[in-house]
Structure 1
Amino acid sequence: MSDPEENWESYSAQYASAQAGHIDQLRGRIDPIKLCFRASSLRQGIPCTVDLSRKRLCAMMGGQNCHGEIIFDDNVTWLARFRLPRTSSQPSEARAWILRNPTPEIFDWACESDPENPIGADYILMEKLDGKPLTWKKATPQQKEKVMQQLASHISQLARLEGARLDRFFPLEGSKALLESYLAMIANGEIDSCCPVDTYLVHRFRQYIVGTLSKEIPAGDKFFLKHPDDKGDHILVNDRFDIVGIIDWEWTRTVSKAEAFSSPCTMWPVAEFYTVSNKLSAEELQFAAMFQRRAGKILPTMY
């Protein structure tokens, strides 16, 4: 693939072509008739249709998943969520654990490895939330404050879910399988062909760390849940900026208290951050004060 810094147009064209190939590969594995039959069976036989065209799947696609709308005859709409078959996707051992119960209501799910899965791919049938991804930079100060108030309340609830072991929420075997998959792809040039030696060595070091984690975690340490991708578009809001859902929890991990309750990266002053400034933004300070008011009794030594 072309170097994006040298020829952006060529790189974009190749990227779009590869993306279309991934979508077509996924579409070829999914049986839409069996998908509709399964969905209908979960709603007392109400007929439904699903559009799995490339255009429709691309319309609701992120870095790891794409979605198709299942529309029932009584105007109820579900989402069918599918894992994209990219080279950077997790190996089957990790994917089997990652399929989880996210914020939207889950009606059905199955792993591709399940012999009773007739669909042909990993899938989740889930509620379609009536909201749109939050675009932080376009929100007004009043809208941001409303979102921060709700988010502070939500995170303070997460503070109650403490775990005594890191591998309680992400089995270390899943991490090992994921790293082994990356090492194989680096070695054969599928990913990071520009500096493979450095990348390979970094992943070998990560492999070593994973192997020693369970032995080095003090018995009395507490860990807390952390959303893995809190850049803003994981929050779904309505036109009044009420939070209707927080999605994309599949890479959720448990981390230390300091990391778990740091400000979401959507509030970071990115330009200053990349100039090695560690000064908190006004939004971060505002959010910290809101969070402290709510979680102070749970985490009295947070700040």
Structure 2
Amino acid sequence: MPLHIRPAVRGRACILCNRHICATHLGEDHHRCPLVSTDPERWEQEMREPRGRDGGHATRLNLTALQARASTLRGGMGGQNYHIEVLFADGVSWLCRVQRQNAESPPSISESGPLSEAATLKFLSTTSVPVPKVFDVSARAPGTIGRPSLDWYDLDDAGKRKILEQFAGIQAELATHPLPAIGCIRQPGSSQIGPLVHERTATRSESGELHLLGPYRSALDMYTAFAKRQIDNILNEELYVDSPTVPLLVYRYLLDRSGAMPSDHIFVDQSLNIVSVIDWEWAQTMPMDFAFCAPLFLLDVGEFYDGRNELSADEALFASALERVGRKDLAACVRSGRINHRLVFCLEENVGNEDTYAPLFWGLRKLAGLSEYDNPQDDWKAWRAKAELDYAQDRDVRALQRQLEKRGKGRGG
């Protein structure tokens, strides 16, 4: 039997059988696990089976070895990580954070992410930014420190204002530590910038070598490379395998027209004093206007996803707080930062879900002065018709058309 080597379709891994699956083997003839979209009851039932979502990763942890390692260095389960409390005889406790491993966790990134996060925390520990202390890091078992957080949306204006006053100081401190390029800090103890550790753009060669994008000197270079990588993923049948044409047109369009700290993870005490900023796993160095636009938890999510671009009340509060600490330049980044939010979301959101994506795309086009419509549906319809004409002779679009014709003939014959 000939060896079958094809890239897996991104975002379509099966967490039931813990497999990455290529476009050829997504069909029922090859993959028989239920889909939550077509058979939710059976899917829920199989999700409750002991094999679970992590491929047995938790049972493979050597807790004795972990205890020994923690003792040498000393002298819960979350969305993407397991958290294990390590208790010492003198009452001190550490938190060991272990990245979950399953079919949705690309193996090419699972080793790079913890190292980049630890390197970022080590760098930030030399500043006045409150971050967890890292005692040790391994690509197999990273550890950080933290405590539960509260829901931002449960706070009144006074509580929000108190936190934002402190957070403005943290942002001001970060602004005093510029770095030379766009990318990720790769090694603990060094401020050298390496490639971007990003699961959407990471690839492996046939020999198994990991390829990451960057580092870059400008945001334009970074987002141009991101759009090109998405186009390559579509042509390689790694993205949008069911309906690839419109997503390809979107990325081709963004290519022609073409932060930041994960600051929605802030720990505060009962008096709303910021204790620590955590979850730096995907932190990147960015240009100032990208890095200091408003963190996402300050956006009015409903308005944003409806395509509206007005500043939210929380964003205005934060801009004012930055002005009070003497950083009018950072406040300006907040007040004019919506274009950066739009660009990131349009590059990274699911183009295949047109009901959600069209308003985001409309919001970007309005900011760029490219839409003459007062609603996302009309704008999307008009843009699509024009894009199909504009890119009819584009090299990538024609390559996709040839692929689709070939697939059609293959299925028909």
Query: Above 0.5 in TM-score?
Result: yes
Contact 2:168 2:321 in 1 (8 A): yes
Contact 1:192 1:199 in 2 (8 A): no
Q: Which moved more, 1:147-156 or 1:101-110?
A: 101-110
Summarize deviations over 1:36-57 as a string: whole Å, max 9, x none: 111112234xxxxxxxxxxx4x
What's the offset of the Cα at 1:141? 1.7
User: For residues 18 and 258 of structure 1, what CA distance do their matches in structure 2 show?
Assistant: 47
Instruction: Specify the alignment match of 2:260 in structure 1.
Output: 226
Indicate whether 1:38 and 2:69 are aligned. yes
8 Å contact kept, 1:94–1:175 = no
- Unpaired runs of 5+ residues, structure 2, are 1-33, 122-130, 186-192, 205-228, 336-413
Indicate whether 1:77 and 2:93 are aligned: yes
Query: In structure 1, which of residues 278, 290, 294 is the aligned counterpart of residue 325 of structure 2?
Result: 294
Deviation (angstroms), 1:256: 2.6
More deviation, 136-145/24-33: 24-33
Q: Give the structure 2 partner of residue 247 of structure 1.
A: 278
1:282 to 271, 293, 313: 313
Could you give the per-residue CA deviations for residues 131-167 of structure 1, whole angstroms, max 9, x where no partner exists?
4223111112221111111111111111112223224
Equivalent of 1:141 in 157, 164, 178 = 157
RMSD: 3.9
Instruction: From the superposition, tell whether residues 296 and 99 of structure 1 become closer, same or farther in structure 2 (CA, over 3 Å).
Output: closer
* Aligned residue pair count: 253
Aligned to 1:266: 297
User: Any gaps of 5 or more consecutive residues in structure 1?
Assistant: 45-55, 112-121, 210-224
- Which protein has the bigger strand share? 1
Aligned pair partner of 1:2 in 23, 35, 50: 35
Q: Which has the higher contact order (CA 8 A, sep 6+)?
A: 1
Q: Structure 2 matches for 1:1-303, cutoff 5 A?
A: 1-4=34-37, 10-14=42-46, 20-22=52-54, 25-44=56-75, 56=76, 58=77, 61-62=78-79, 64-90=80-106, 91=108, 94-95=112-113, 97-101=115-119, 102=121, 103-111=131-139, 122-127=140-145, 129=146, 131-167=147-183, 169=185, 171-172=194-195, 178-180=201-203, 195=242, 197=244, 226-227=260-261, 229-230=262-263, 232=264, 234-296=265-327, 302=333
* Contact 2:98/2:143 (<8 A) preserved: no
Q: Which amino acid aligns with 1:226?
A: A
Q: In the superposition, relative to structure 1, how do residues 15 and 168 fare at CA in structure 2: closer, same or farther (>3 Å)?
A: same
Q: Whole-Å Cα distance in 1 between the matches of residues 65 and 323 of structure 2?
A: 50
Distance 1:71 1:98, change over 3 A: same
Q: 1:172 deviation in Å? A: 2.9
**Residues 17-75 of structure 1 deviation map (CA, whole Å, 9 limit, x = unaligned):** 598340x622233211111111112234xxxxxxxxxxx4x3xx12x222111111222
Separation in 2, partners of 1:75, 1:42: 16
What letter matches 1:110 in structure 2? S
Distance between the aligned counterparts of 2:246 and 2:56, measured in 1?
28
CA offset at residue 253 of structure 1? Answer: 1.1
> In structure 1, what is the Cα distance between the partners aligned to 2:62 and 2:85?
15
In the superposition, the TM-score normalised over structure 1's length comes to: 0.68
CA–CA distance in structure 1, aligned partners of residues 69 and 332 of structure 2 = 50
* Cα 1:177/1:272, change in 2 over 3 Å: closer
Go from structure 1 to structure 2 and tell me whether the alpha carbon gap of 1:281 and 1:299 turns closer, same or farther (over 3 Å shift). Answer: closer
Distance 1:87 1:12 in 2: 17
What code does the residue aligned with 1:83 have?
Q
For 2:63, the aligned partner's letter is P
Max Rg structure: 2
Task: Judge conservation of contact 2:115–2:137 (CA < 8 Å) in 1.
Answer: no
Identity of aligned pairs, percent? Answer: 25
Is the CA contact 1:186–1:196 (under 8 Å) kept in the aligned structure 2? Answer: no
